[in-house]
C-alpha cells in the first residue's frame, strides 16, 4: 500500500486493516485464555525456554557486571560498616559470655557446697558471707546468720574444699568466723597419709598456713594432704585443711617447718557451710558419738585445744601445758613447742580416763582411711 | 523510503528484547520502559511496507516467550498499538519529535490500560501504582530511540 494513498483507497485499506486487526485480536485473546486456563502451552513454552535461555544470559550479563562493579566499589564502605557492626556484636557477646561464665562458676560452687554437705551426710547450714575482713592481723568473715538461725559459738565452718575456720562470735543476726589463716588461729591436724599429728597455724595471709615443729624423723613429705585430726574436740576429724607445699628446717635444725596451702577457698565464694554436727555416718563409729558433745561443746574443758581464736593460743598452751609445762608458745620456741605437740597426743592416749579425749585419740590411728574418703 | 540496512530491523528487535529482560534494581523495575513497543512503533511509522499488524503480532508472541508473560498478552498489546499507529501514521510522520513523543506516551498509557484490563479479567493481582509511570519513561526515551534507529537505518543523522 502506497504511503500517500487517496481517501477512498485509504478507506478500503482501513476496512481491511480493521478486519485483520479483529482476526489477530481474536487469535491473541484465544491464546491468552488458553494459556491462562490450561497448561497445554506449557510444553511449547519449555521448548522455547531452551532458545530463550541464552537470551536471558546475555540480558543478565550487564546486570552481573554492574553488580560486580558495585560490589568492588562498595567494598570498603560496606566492610567498614559491617566491621563496626560486628565489633559491637562482639562486645555485647563478650559481656553476655562473661555473665554466663559468672553464673556457671556460681553454679559449680553451689553444687560443690551441696555435694560436700551430701557426701558426708553432714548436718550443715548454708550461710551467706556478708563481709570479708582479710588483713594480716585479722582474717575474719561476717556471716549473714546469727543465733536466731541456730548458729553457736565454736561451730566449724567449711566450704567445698575443706575447713574454713570457726565461729567465734554470734549476735542474733550475724556471726563472726575466725579463719584458719588468722595469725591467732591454730588447728590440730594430721597427715592424711599416715596420721602424723601436727598443728597448723595461721599466718595472716589467706593463701598459706604454717606447720611448725615437725620432727625430722617423722614421715612428712611435700604434697601430703593435711586434715583435721579432731584432737581437742573443737573441730571434727577428717576435714581437709590443706596440702603441704614446702618443708624446710627451722633455725634449730632439729625440726622442720612446713608451708600449707589451704584446701578451702578462703578468698572466694559467697556462701559457706556451718557444721551443726560431725559426720553422722563417718567410718569410725564411736568417734561421732563422742565428738558431738565435744563439738557442740563447752569450751570449758580440755576441748579447747589449739583452735580457739584470739585467746586460742592461751587455751592451746593450756592444753599443751597439761602434759608438759615447757611449751609456752608453740611458735615462738619451736624447739620446745615441737615436742609439746607430740606429748599432747601421748597424753591423750594415756589419759584415757578423760572422756573428752579418749575417743579422739582413737581416730588418730585410723585416720589414714577416713580422710581419703572425704577427699574421694 | 530507502531500506539499504536490512540488518537494523532484527538487531533493533533483539536489543529491545534484551533491554526488556535486563535485570534492574527493584526500585527502577516499575519504571522500565516498554522498549519493544518503542522499536515496533518506529518500524510501523517508518517502514509500513514491511512492518504491519502481523509483524507486531509475531514480535509480541516472541516477546511473550522470552519474558515468560501470558502467551499472547504482548502480542495483543503490540497489535493494538500497531493498529492505532497505522491509522494515524500519516499525521504522526510530520509531527515534530516532541509531539511524536507525546503521542507515543499516550499509546504507552493505552498499553498499560490494556495490561491492567487483562490482569483484571484474568483475576490476577493488580499492579502497583508506580507501574503507571512507565509510559513517562517511554515518552522521554522516544526521541533518542527514534534518532538512533533513523541514523542506523539511513546511515546518517537526520535533521528534524
Residues 6+ apart with CB under 8 A from A138: A182
Nearest-Cα distance to chain A for B123, in Å, is 10
A90 touches chain B (CB under 8 A): no
pLDDT of A11-29, one tens digit each? Answer: 666 787 788 888 888 888 8
A295: nearest Cα among A146, A155, A188, A151: A155
pLDDT of residue B160: 52
Q: How far is B119 from chain A (nearest CA, A)?
A: 11
pLDDT at A305 over 60: no
pLDDT, tens digit (0-9, with 9 covering 90-100), for A185-226: 999 999 988 888 899 999 888 888 999 888 888 888 898 899
Share of chain B above pLDDT 90, in %: 14
User: What average pLDDT score do residues A344-370 get?
Assistant: 40
Half-sphere exposure of A300 (CA within 13 A, CB side): 5
Collapsed DSSP state (helix, strand, coil) of residue A220:
coil
Q: What is the pLDDT of residues B22-79, one digit of tens each?
A: 777 777 877 888 889 999 999 988 888 888 888 889 998 888 888 877 788 888 999 9
pLDDT at position A138: 82
Exposure string over B132-153, b if 16+ CB within 10 A, otherwise e? eebbebbbebbeebbeebbeeb
How distant is the Cα of B66 from the closest Cα of chain A, in angstroms? 5
Quote the CA–CA distance of A224 and A237 in Å, as a whole number.
Answer: 17
Taking contacts as CB-CB distances below 8 angstroms, the residues of chain B near A18 are 83
Distance CA B12, CA B61 (A): 17
Q: Does B49 touch chain A (CB under 8 A)?
A: yes
Q: Select the residue from B17, B18, B55 to test the A interface by mutation, using most A Cβ atoms within 10 A.
A: B18
Q: Is A26 on the interface with B (CB under 8 A)?
A: no
What angle do helix axes B35-46 and B8-21 make, rounded to 10 degrees?
Answer: 160
DSSP letters of A307-340? --GGGHHHHHHHHHHTT-TT-S-TTT-HHHHHHH
pLDDT over 80 (residue A360): no
Q: Does A63 score more than 60 pLDDT?
A: yes
Give residue-wise pLDDT tens across range B85-105. Answer: 988 888 888 888 889 999 999
pLDDT at A301 over 50: no
Q: Please give the C-alpha separations between residue B137 and each of A315, B29, B36, in angstroms, as whole numbers.
A: 105, 12, 13
Q: Which residue of B has its CA nearest to A20?
A: B53
pLDDT at B66: 81
Cβ–Cβ contact A27 with B under 8 A:
yes
Q: Are the Cβ atoms of A32 and B70 closer than 8 angstroms?
A: yes
Looking at residue A245, its pLDDT comes to: 92
d(CA A122, CA A288): 11
Global confidence as pTM: 0.43
Reported ipTM: the value is 0.76
Taking an 8 Å cut-off on Cβ atoms, the answer to whether A20 and B53 are in contact is yes
Amino acid at each position: 500500500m502506497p504511503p500517500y494513498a487517496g481517501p477512498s483507497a485509504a478507506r478500503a485499506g482501513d476496512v481491511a486493516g480493521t478486519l485483520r486487526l479483529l482476526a489477530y485480536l481474536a487469535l491473541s485473546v484465544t491464546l491468552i485464555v488458553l494459556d491462562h486456563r490450561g497448561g497445554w502451552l506449557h510444553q511449547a513454552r519449555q521448548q522455547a525456554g531452551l532458545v530463550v535461555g541464552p537470551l536471558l544470559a546475555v540480558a543478565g550479563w550487564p546486570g552481573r557486571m554492574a553488580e560486580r562493579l558495585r560490589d568492588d566499589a562498595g567494598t570498603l564502605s560496606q566492610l567498614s560498616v559491617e566491621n563496626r557492626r560486628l565489633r559491637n556484636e562482639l562486645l555485647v557477646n563478650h559481656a553476655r559470655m562473661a555473665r554466663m561464665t559468672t553464673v556457671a562458676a556460681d553454679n559449680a560452687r553451689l553444687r560443690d557446697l551441696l555435694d560436700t554437705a551430701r557426701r558426708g551426710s553432714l548436718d550443715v547450714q548454708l550461710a551467706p558471707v556478708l563481709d570479708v575482713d582479710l588483713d594480716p592481723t585479722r582474717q575474719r568473715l561476717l556471716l549473714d546468720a546469727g543465733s536466731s538461725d541456730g548458729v553457736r559459738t565454736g561451730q566449724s565452718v567449711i566450704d567445698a574444699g575443706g575447713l574454713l575456720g570457726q565461729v567465734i562470735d554470734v549476735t542474733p543476726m550475724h556471726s563472726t568466723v575466725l579463719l584458719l589463716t588468722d595469725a591467732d588461729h591454730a588447728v590440730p591436724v594430721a597427715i592424711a597419709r599416715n596420721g602424723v599429728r601436727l598443728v597448723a597455724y595461721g599466718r595472716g595471709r589467706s593463701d598459706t598456713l604454717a606447720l611448725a615443729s615437725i620432727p625430722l624423723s617423722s614421715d612428712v613429705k611435700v604434697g601430703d594432704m593435711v586434715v583435721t585430726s579432731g584432737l581437742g574436740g573443737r573441730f571434727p576429724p577428717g576435714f581437709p585443711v590443706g596440702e603441704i607445699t614446702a618443708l624446710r628446717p627451722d633455725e634449730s635444725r632439729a625440726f622442720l617447718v612446713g608451708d600449707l596451702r589451704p584446701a578451702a577457698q578462703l578468698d572466694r565464694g559467697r556462701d559457706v557451710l556451718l557444721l551443726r554436727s560431725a559426720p553422722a555416718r563417718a567410718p569410725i563409729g564411736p568417734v561421732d558419738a563422742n565428738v558431738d558433745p565435744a563439738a557442740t561443746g563447752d569450751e570449758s574443758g580440755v576441748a579447747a585445744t589449739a583452735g580457739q581464736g584470739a585467746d586460742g593460743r592461751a587455751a592451746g598452751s593450756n592444753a599443751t601445758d597439761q602434759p608438759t609445762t615447757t611449751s609456752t608458745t608453740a611458735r615462738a620456741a619451736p624447739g620446745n613447742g615441737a615436742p609439746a605437740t607430740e606429748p599432747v597426743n601421748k597424753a591423750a592416749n594415756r589419759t584415757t580416763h578423760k572422756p573428752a579425749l579418749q575417743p579422739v585419740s582413737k581416730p588418730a590411728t585410723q585416720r589414714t582411711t577416713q580422710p581419703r574418703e572425704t577427699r574421694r | 523510503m530507502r531500506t539499504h540496512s536490512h540488518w537494523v530491523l532484527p538487531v533493533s528487535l533483539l536489543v529491545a528484547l534484551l533491554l526488556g529482560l535486563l535485570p534492574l534494581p527493584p526500585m527502577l523495575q516499575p519504571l522500565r520502559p516498554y522498549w519493544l513497543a518503542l522499536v515496533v512503533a518506529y518500524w510501523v511509522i517508518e517502514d509500513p511496507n514491511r512492518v504491519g499488524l502481523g509483524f507486531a503480532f509475531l514480535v509480541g508472541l516472541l516477546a511473550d516467550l522470552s519474558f515468560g508473560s501470558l502467551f499472547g498478552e504482548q502480542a495483543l498489546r503490540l497489535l493494538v498499538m500497531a493498529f492505532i499507529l497505522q491509522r494515524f501514521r500519516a499525521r504522526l510522520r510530520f509531527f515534530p519529535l516532541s509531539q511524536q513523543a507525546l503521542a507515543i506516551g499516550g499509546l504507552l498509557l493505552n498499553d498499560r490500560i490494556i495490561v491492567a484490563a487483562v490482569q483484571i479479567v484474568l483475576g490476577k493481582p493488580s499492579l502497583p501504582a508506580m507501574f503507571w509511570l512507565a509510559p513517562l519513561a517511554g515518552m522521554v526515551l522516544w526521541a533518542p530511540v527514534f534518532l538512533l534507529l533513523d541514523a542506523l537505518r539511513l546511515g546518517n543523522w537526520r535533521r528534524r
